[in-house]
């Protein structure tokens, strides 16, 4: 079984043989709703925004780690008892992703993708680094939150994506690995490379490499 536990600003996306699942802890967003709406009316960095955020934060904190509010384990380890937990059959999972709210913005705020499945496809295709770069580019294009109302210019972005490993019978056979060369051959090869270094960079570089090798640095 593949088990998940979600608490706070985390989103888990599961692509399984029986369908798509999205597990997100939205309880903090359900608090201080009027104060959030007011804060969204003002540009980031303005005095009005700061005042609205202060009011919002007071209302939000009043609901932290309370029944009917939201739960954060950093403030109270007992909050873990209120996490969203579940499980799916491991062999039904094709792929999954885990994202912080800063990464989840691609769908629920910036609407860069029309669906979570499309986002997962692109994340797998371009990789996490490019996925995050696009988020930062969108944030930078709207530094005051005029197009995309939010509390601050950028948020923490963490994303992990994984694809299920095929069963051994389904794997593509790997090419036969070459056996490791004998030690004396490897030493001879290293000396040959060192000799080439002398020709390319001069005696000074070669002497430094030799010194590092004697010291065990390389």
Whether 202 shows a pLDDT value over 60: the answer reads no
* pLDDT, position 150: 94
DSSP 8-class letter at 40: T
- Determine contact, residues 150/44, Cβ cutoff 8 Å: yes
If DSSP codes are grouped into helix, strand and coil, which group holds residue 218? coil
Q: Delimit the domains of the chain by residue range.
A: 2-167, 183-215
DSSP 8-class letter at 77: G
Identify the weakest region by mean pLDDT among 9-13, 66-70, 133-137, 171-175: 171-175
Whether 98 shows a pLDDT value over 70: the answer reads yes
- Determine contact, residues 131/103, Cβ cutoff 8 Å: yes
- Which among 28-32, 48-52, 164-168, 190-194 has the top mean pLDDT? 48-52
- Determine contact, residues 119/111, Cβ cutoff 8 Å: no
CA distance 207 to 196: 13
């Amino acid at each position: 079984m593949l088990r998940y536990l979600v608490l706070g600003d985390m989103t888990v996306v599961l692509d399984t043989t029986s369908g798509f699942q999205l597990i997100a802890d939205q309880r903090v967003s359900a608090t201080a709703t009027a104060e959030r709406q007011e804060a969204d009316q003002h540009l980031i960095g303005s005095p009005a925004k700061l005042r609205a955020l202060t009011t919002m934060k007071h209302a939000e904190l009043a609901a932290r780690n309370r029944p009917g509010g939201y739960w954060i384990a950093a403030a109270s380890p007992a909050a873990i008892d209120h996490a969203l937990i579940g499980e799916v059959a491991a062999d039904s999972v094709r792929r999954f992703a885990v994202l912080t709210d800063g990464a989840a913005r691609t769908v629920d705020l910036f609407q860069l993708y029309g669906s979570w499945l499309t986002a997962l496809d692109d994340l797998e295709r371009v990789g996490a680094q490019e996925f995050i770069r696009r988020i930062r580019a969108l944030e930078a294009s709207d530094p005051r939150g005029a197009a995309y109302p939010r509390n601050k210019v950028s948020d923490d972005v963490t994303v992990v994506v994984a694809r299920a490993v095929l069963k051994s019978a389904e794997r593509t056979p790997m090419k036969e690995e070459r056996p490791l060369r004998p030690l004396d051959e490897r030493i001879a090869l290293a000396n040959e490379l060192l000799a080439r270094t002398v020709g390319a960079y001069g005696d000074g570089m070669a002497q430094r490499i030799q010194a590092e090798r004697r010291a065990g640095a390389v």
